[in-house]
Structure 1
Amino acid sequence: MYGWDVYLSGEIHTDWRERIEAGADEAGLDITFSAPVTDHEASDDCGVAILGQEDKPFWKDHKGAKLNAIRTRTLIEQADVVVVRFGDKYKQWNAAFDAGYAAALGKPLIVLHPQEHTHALKEVDAAALAVAETPEQVVEILRYVIAGELPGRARAAAE
């Protein structure tokens, strides 16, 4: 079996990525994880820091979004699976865009969000192959699709 590439998109203010990575490592899954730049300030300022200052916020954001898109689009295109997390604190339009882009490419998509976002994300959820509420559920989905193991059974078989 070959190693899988999993792209972790979405909110950057909680430890959900680390929980998925640790769970996959604990499960012995051969996964390479990638993600957008999660340093919020660097992501916002990359365009003007590299290409020069702008007088208007629109052009600052425009430059930054294009530079970030080089990374995001490339890593989504290379991914075997895309996981998109929608968090509580901020509206993540970039995450919605990433989910749509992954769906348009035909990438297997796992969406991760709290139950109270179900109505707002119904179209995104409809494009996903799985909708999870916790990072641990994402790990179990990855364990199943990569190793064919169900929760509890993998642990019981190992004992």
Structure 2
Amino acid sequence: MDKRVGWALAVLAVFVGWWQWGGYGVVLALTVVVFWLLLQFYRALRVMQAAGAAPVGHVANAVMLHARLNTGMTLLEILPHTRSLGQKLSDPPNEAFAWTDANGDRVEVTLVHGRLTQWQLIRAAAPEAEAAAGADAAQAPAQPGA
């Protein structure tokens, strides 16, 4: 949710509380707003604690992470998919992070003003494919007159 919408709803709740029940309504509205902020803080704390326990920049499967990303996601929404903090590639306002899996595949994301704008999957070259290409080149017959 956009911060402006959240604060507008908080102000609206305080106004409606005052209008309906006076001082008691204001206290109730402020209690609800503080409770909501505590829930958001606890959620962020849990995500960061789980991500901080894993190696930086490592993800179980880069291809699956790439498939789960959507434009507009925040880093707090990306971290539960990665279960680790990303390797930082650049600073704000165009922050870039990268995660690599055990096969060498890599996902690089770019956040502009805290929102995901672009991401790319960089596949590692398969050693079997390189070995097969080298073997085919070695077995190819020489061209006469070359």
TM-score (norm 1): 0.30
Q: Which has the higher contact order (CA 8 A, sep 6+)?
A: 1
Greater radius of gyration (CA): 2
